[in-house]
Structure formats: C-alpha cells, structure tokens
C-alpha cells in the first residue's frame, strides 16, 4: 500500500506543478524562480516511482495480479511435467508388455 500511496502523491505533485506553470505562464517571474519551477516540472514529468519502461505504473493490485499469474503458471507447468513423466512410464510399460522384451 505504501507504493500505491507514493505513486498517488507523485502524480498529485506533478499535476500541481503543471498547474502552477500554466498559471504563471502569463506573468513575469524572476529568472531564478522560473528555472526552479522548470526544474521541478522536469523532475516530475516522468511516471511515478515504479513504472517499468513507462508502460504501466506498478501498484499493489498490479503486483498481486502479477504474482498470482506467475504462481498459476508454475502450478500448470508442474502438473504438465508430472503428467508427462507418468505418460512416458505408462507408454514404456505398454511397449514392454506388447513386445515381451525389456526396454532400456
């Protein structure tokens, strides 16, 4: 939850800085103040604290979905692996019984 909160705060700061820049666009500000405002806006132009390749913003719900997807995928892989081993053993046994010879 802390990551989501940080992400929300980051987004709010970015929006407030952009609003300030728009509000003061028509006014003449001291050069130092303009540079400081531009620097702050530039710092917050990128996405939130956790945004892989700027494709999406990572938060609690997307993290939970990612973990559950990985766990589900691993369970399916384990099931396929175990069923494959059983199928190979049964096939070897059936061939051995049909031919009457042991298979190496």
Q: pLDDT tens digit string along 10-63?
A: 778 888 888 888 887 777 878 888 888 888 887 777 655 566 666 666 767 777
Rounded-to-integer distance, Cα 81 and Cα 60, Å: 32
Q: Is the pTM for the entire model greater than 0.85?
A: no
Give the domain extent around 77.
Answer: 67-104
The confidence score (pLDDT) of residue 71 equals: 93
Q: Are residues 51 and 6 in the same domain?
A: yes
Q: Are residues 51 and 1 in the same domain?
A: yes
Q: Are residues 52 and 73 in the same domain?
A: no
Contacts of 58 (CB under 8 A, 6+ apart): 3, 7, 50, 51, 52
């Amino acid at each position: 939850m802390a990551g989501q909160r940080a992400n929300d705060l980051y987004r709010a700061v970015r929006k407030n800085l952009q609003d300030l820049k728009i509000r003061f666009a028509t006014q003449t500000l001291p050069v130092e103040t303009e540079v400081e405002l531009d620097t702050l806006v530039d710092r917050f132009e990128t996405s939130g604290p956790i945004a892989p390749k700027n494709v999406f913003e990572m938060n609690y719900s997307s993290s939970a979905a990612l973990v559950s997807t990985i766990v589900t995928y691993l369970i399916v892989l384990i099931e396929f692996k175990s069923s494959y081993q059983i199928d190979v053993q049964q096939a070897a046994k059936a061939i051995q019984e049909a031919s009457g010879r042991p298979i190496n």
